[in-house]
C-alpha cells in the first residue's frame, strides 16, 4: 500500500490464510493488525502513528473532528475458499451498549472482483420473521431458508449496513470496505468444528438484538457501468465509494474534499498523479492519498479498474 502526497510511503499489507478464507488487510489501523510503512523515511511507522502526527493533514478536518487519532476505515481483499459463517454486525449504539464506550459497529460493502461458476452469497432476509423465529431457526439449523441468496458475478455490489445478515460463500473474491471494527456476531456455521475439535461459538442472543428484521425487495446495489466516468456505488455516513473503469486518463479535483482518499486497484495497472507526484499502482494494491492533496489524475496503462473511497 502507498500513502501519496507530501510524503510517499509504501505500506505492508497484512495477509491471513486461514482454513476457509484468504484475506489481505490492505489498509488497517485495527489493533494488532496495523499496516506499517515498508520503506523510506517513515519505515516501520503504523497508520495510527501517522494519523497522530499528521492529524487532519492526513485524514481531513471533519474526519479528524469525528474520529480523532483513530483511522476510521478498514480495506480488505477476501478470497473465500469455503462458505463463511452466517453473521451480522451491530450498529454503533449496540456496540457501545454491549462492548463499552468507544466500541464501533460495522457497516460495510462488497465489490465482487471474481466469482467461480455457481458462486453465491447471502444478504438480508427473504421473508419477514420475528426474533423468536430467528432463534428457533438457528437452533434447528434452518436459518439459511429465510435468507436472500444471490448468484454473483464480477462487478456485483452489495451494501451491508449494520444489522443486515450476510455471508460470503465459496468461490467469491471480493473487495471489502468497512468501518474500522471487527465486531462480528456469528449466527450459524454449518455445524463445522473449530481447530479445537468443538463447534465454534455462536452469538445467538447478541445477534438477535443486532438484526434488522426489515425485508427489502432486493439487497443487490444497482448501478450502471460506464467507461471513463465516475460511477458512485455507495454513499453513507461512514464512506462514499465510486468505481472507475478507465481506458483514458481521468482527472479529479480533491481541493474541496476535506478527506483522505483510498484507491483500490481491482484490475489492470497504471499511474496515479497526485499534486505532481507519480505513484504506480496495479491490481491488488491500495493507495492512500492524504487530505492535503488538491489534484488526482488516474492514468491507466491500457486499462485499469479502481475503487475510490473517502468520507463525505
pLDDT at residue 14 in the model: 67
Average pLDDT over residues 181-185: 95
Asked whether the predicted pLDDT for residue 9 surpasses 80, the reply is no
pLDDT grade for 16, boundaries at 50, 70 and 90: low
Within a domain: residue 49?
no
Within a domain: residue 57?
no
Give CA separation, 31 vs 49, 89, 147, 170, 265, in Å.
Answer: 12, 18, 32, 28, 25
CA distance 306 to 264: 5
DSSP state of 292: T
pLDDT grade for 177, boundaries at 50, 70 and 90: very high
How many other C-beta atoms lie within 10 A of the C-beta of residue 303? 14
Residue-wise pLDDT for 244-283, tens only, equals: 999 999 999 999 999 999 999 999 999 999 999 898 999 9
Average pLDDT over residues 73-99: 97
Total domain count for the chain? 1
DSSP for 47-109, written as a single string: HHHHHHHHTHHHH-HHHHHHHTTS--EEEEEEEESSPPPEEE---HHHHHHHH-TT-----EE
DSSP state of 231: E
pLDDT at residue 228 in the model: 98
pLDDT at residue 20 in the model: 67
Within a domain: residue 308?
no
Whole domain around residue 111: which residue ranges?
73-210
Residue-wise pLDDT for 188-237, tens only, equals: 999 888 778 888 899 999 999 999 999 999 999 999 999 999 999 999 99
Within a domain: residue 141?
yes
Average pLDDT over residues 108-130: 98
Within a domain: residue 310?
no
pLDDT at residue 12 in the model: 62
pLDDT at residue 163 in the model: 98
State the average pLDDT for the chain.
93
Q: Which residue has the cell 438477535?
A: 208
Share of the chain above pLDDT 70, in %: 93
> Which is more confident, 123 or 288?
123
Within a domain: residue 23?
no
**The CATH number of the domain where 195 resides is what?**
2.60.120.10
pLDDT at residue 4 in the model: 47
Give CA separation, 145 vs 132, 162, 241, 278, in Å.
Answer: 15, 21, 32, 51
Within a domain: residue 279?
no
Asked whether the predicted pLDDT for residue 113 surpasses 90, the reply is yes
pLDDT at residue 42 in the model: 77
pLDDT grade for 7, boundaries at 50, 70 and 90: low
Within a domain: residue 180?
yes
Residue-wise pLDDT for 35-76, tens only, equals: 887 666 777 889 999 999 999 999 999 999 999 999 999 999
Amino acid at each position: 500500500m502507498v500513502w501519496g502526497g507530501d510524503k510517499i510511503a509504501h505500506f505492508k499489507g497484512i495477509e491471513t490464510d486461514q482454513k476457509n478464507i484468504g484475506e489481505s488487510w490492505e489498509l488497517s489501523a485495527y489493533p494488532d493488525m496495523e499496516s506499517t510503512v515498508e520503506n523510506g523515511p517513515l519505515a516501520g511507522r503504523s497508520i495510527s502513528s501517522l494519523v497522530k502526527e499528521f492529524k487532519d493533514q492526513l485524514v481531513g478536518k471533519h474526519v479528524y473532528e469525528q474520529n480523532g487519532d483513530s483511522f476510521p476505515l478498514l480495506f480488505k481483499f477476501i478470497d473465500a475458499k469455503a462458505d463463511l459463517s452466517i453473521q451480522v454486525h451491530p450498529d454503533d449504539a449496540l456496540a457501545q451498549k454491549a462492548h463499552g464506550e468507544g466500541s464501533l459497529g460495522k457497516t460495510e460493502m462488497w465489490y465482487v472482483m471474481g466469482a467461480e461458476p455457481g458462486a453465491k452469497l447471502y444478504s438480508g432476509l427473504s421473508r419477514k420473521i420475528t426474533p423468536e423465529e430467528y432463534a428457533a431457526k438457528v437452533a434447528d439449523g434452518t436459518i439459511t431458508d429465510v435468507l436472500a441468496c444471490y448468484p454473483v458475478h464480477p462487478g456485483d455490489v452489495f451494501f451491508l449496513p449494520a444489522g443486515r445478515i450476510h455471508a460470503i460463500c465459496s468461490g467469491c473474491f471480493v473487495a471489502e470496505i468497512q468501518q474500522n471494527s471487527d465486531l462480528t456476531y456469528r449466527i450459524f456455521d454449518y455445524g463445522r468444528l473449530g481447530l479445537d475439535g468443538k463447534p465454534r461459538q455462536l452469538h445467538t442472543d447478541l445477534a438477535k438484538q443486532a438484526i434488522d428484521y426489515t425485508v427489502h425487495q432486493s439487497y443487490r446495489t444497482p448501478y450502471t457501468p460506464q467507461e471513463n466516468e465516475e460511477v458512485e456505488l455507495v454513499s453513507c455516513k461512514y464512506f462514499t465509494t465510486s468505481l472507475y473503469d478507465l481506458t483514458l486518463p481521468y482527472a479529479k479535483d480533491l481541493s474541496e474534499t476535506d478527506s483522505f482518499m483510498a484507491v483500490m486497484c481491482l484490475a489492470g495497472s497504471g499511474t496515479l498523479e497526485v499534486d505532481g507526484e507519480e505513484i504506480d499502482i496495479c491490481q491488488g494494491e491500495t493507495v492512500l492519498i492524504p487530505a492535503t492533496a488538491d489534484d488526482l489524475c488516474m492514468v491507466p496503462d491500457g486499462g485499469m479498474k479502481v475503487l475510490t473511497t473517502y468520507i463525505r
